Structure 1
Amino acid sequence: MTTIVVPYHQDERLPDESIPLPPDGATVTVDASLPDGSIWPRLTTLYDEVARTVADHTGPDAMPVVISGDCLVALGTIVGTQRAGMDPSIVWFDAHGDVHTLQTSTSGYLGGMALSLAMGRHPERLAEPLGLRPLSEQQAVLVDARDLDPAEADFLSTSELKRYPVDDLSSAVLPGGALILHIDVDVIDIGELPGVRFPAPDGPSKDTVLAAARRVLQTGRVVALDISCPWNPAADQQDVTIRTALIEELIALR
């Protein structure tokens, strides 16, 4: 199985060492020549290349692992599986809701809109240029999302998008058909994973998250594993060691 590395946070190329990988295994790194100008065409160019790479490595006996520095890369993963002839739903592990829009976000941080964009909000920004078939609210499950802004909580209170604590995630609450398993590592408690860009306290343990992810994979319906690592540069060797071990455990899930 191929590991696809996308060393970007939005349109910023990260140093290779920002995503520490185990030494063994087949790895493909996505690099793209991004156009000058505003961020949306730059992201479209990058995610189109991600989608092409994912499509090339997706099939009945091939489940790619996509590792990046940003949840927005999941749009490229979704498009890639769609181009490979699939119609996947998504299971979205995250400390945050990621269901903001350009109108509701107070920070303007695009990563906080990733799931919303995947479900077709602001289609002219990414969905239409990429050829993304937006996911319906019934095709997404939000896991944890303990740190919600008021606008996100309001949206979820009336949405058909379901949200579950990590411990409550089971095959019974998952959408049918093919699945993409998306894990933003900041879902893990900050006591075990320091240095994330947007820390949210009181999260589940790493072992709890891994166990829930295994329950999803045991359905046999996961067609891609998408891992987002939105963390700051490592402060010391201990950070590097923790991150390397976590990525190794996440890759081993498949």
Structure 2
Amino acid sequence: MNQNAHIIGAATAFGQPRLGVDLGPDALRYAGLTKMLKELGLSVTDKGNIKGNFEVEAERHNIKNDDNLLNYDAVKDFNTILAGAVDASVSNGAFPLILGGDHSLAIGSLAGISRHYENLGVIWYDAHGDLNDSRTSPSGNIHGMPLGISCGIGDADLVNLYDAGPKVKPENIVLIGMRDLDEGEKQYIHDNDILTFTMTDVKMMGIAEVMKQALDHLVEKCDGLHLSLDVDGLDPMETPGTGTPVDGGLSLSETQLAMSILNDSDRITSMDLVEVNPLLDDGNKTAGKAVEIAASLFGKKQL
């Protein structure tokens, strides 16, 4: 894996209604992320936080547009700026490590990254599929839509953000840890034959076999692999500091093994690490677990 890492803080809370997730990038820094990466031998440049042109203010949060999309203008503005920063990072030969912030930031990260790959693969490690649009979303929260938008469904301006058209093909996606899918998402997964591992699959097969099948599905046809990891993919007993926890998730040890397997593959080219909300956390526990997850991805071993 690329040993030149750019940390890009994506300090956004606009994709969902709960304030505090915009503090996630700094919570990860306080939990020792940069020190850990350097100890593993990486060259690290912290690019600071992107906040967009809309400040996160309680009185301006939770505004829906005519299509029932929450904080639409702010999400679009933020992700356009983020896409440019991620694009520049890849252009400079770095591994972009994008720290969230809510998962709507993946609209911008995938837009910036996809410019550099003909067939970008995406591993979506999450409790949720994030494949909704304004018609299928029960809430209108855009953090439940970024993968769908990146595939070309939903609002045209978001689909065409930064570059026109979809940023990833459904056949180049693997979903891992799914256990809270809306009906529209289930239909999209079936219609597009997206390789999906629910938590039932993980428990029956084991995470090592899941990761093997995921990589087998992607590595031969994809020229880059982006990992988008939401901390709510883990069980809330592990990562309580997140806005949409779902019981029955992955353990830290399972996730560390998954990340170690990805490190051994030497194919991951970029990563989102999202949905850490220190206002909902217990002593920055979730950020600490997220740093351990990143450490395993970048090569930390138990022996």
TM-score (norm 2): 0.74
**SS of aligned partner of 2:265:** coil
Q: In structure 2, the residue corresponding to 1:4 is in which secondary structure? A: strand
Aligned-residue sequence identity (percent) comes to 22
Distance 1:189 1:126, change over 3 A: same
Partner of 1:174: 218
Post-superposition shift, 1:198? 1.2
Match of 2:290 in 1: 247
List per-residue Cα deviations over 1:14-72 (Å, max 9, x = no partner): 34776331263532221321399953332222112111111222158521110112111
The answer to whether 1:150 aligns with 2:183 is yes
Contact 1:182/1:227, CA 8 A, preserved across alignment = yes
**Of Structure 1 and Structure 2, which has the larger fraction of its residues in helix?**
2
Residue pairs, 1:96-111, within 5 angstroms: 96-111=128-143
| SS of match in other structure, 1:180 | strand
**Aligned twin of 2:13:** 9
Which residue of structure 2 aligns with residue 20 of structure 1? 28
Tell me whether 1:45 sits opposite 2:77 in the alignment.
Answer: yes
Deviation at 1:244, TM superposition (A): 3.2
CA distance in 2, matches of 1:46, 1:184: 19
State the number of aligned residues: 251
Cα distance in 2, alignment partners of residues 17 and 138 from structure 1:
31
* Secondary structure of the corresponding residue to residue 27 of structure 1: strand
Runs of 4+ in structure 1 off by over 6 angstroms are: none
- Unaligned runs of 5+ residues in structure 2 are 36-43, 66-70, 299-303
Distance 1:236 1:190, change over 3 A: closer
Q: Give structure 1 stretches of 5+ with no counterpart.
A: none
User: How far apart are the structure 2 equivalents of 1:34 and 1:132?
Assistant: 24
Over the aligned positions, Cα root-mean-square deviation in angstroms equals: 2.6
Q: Which residue of 1 aligns with 2:269?
A: 223
Could you tell me the TM-score, scaled by structure 1's length? Answer: 0.86
Q: Distance in 2 between matches of 1:231 and 1:248?
A: 14
Deviation (angstroms), 1:107: 1.9
* Contact 1:7–1:19 (Cα < 8 Å) also in 2: no
2:156 matches 1:127: no
Cα deviations by residue, 1:65-116 (Å, 9 ceiling, x for unpaired) = 1011211111211111133456422110110121122111122222111211
Separation in 2 of the partners of 1:40 and 1:104?
Answer: 16
Counterpart among 54, 63, 86 of residue 34 in structure 1: 54
Pairing of 1:53-72 with structure 2 (within 5 A) = 53-59=85-91, 61-72=93-104
Residues in 2 aligned to 1:55 and 1:17: alpha-carbon distance in whole angstroms? 19
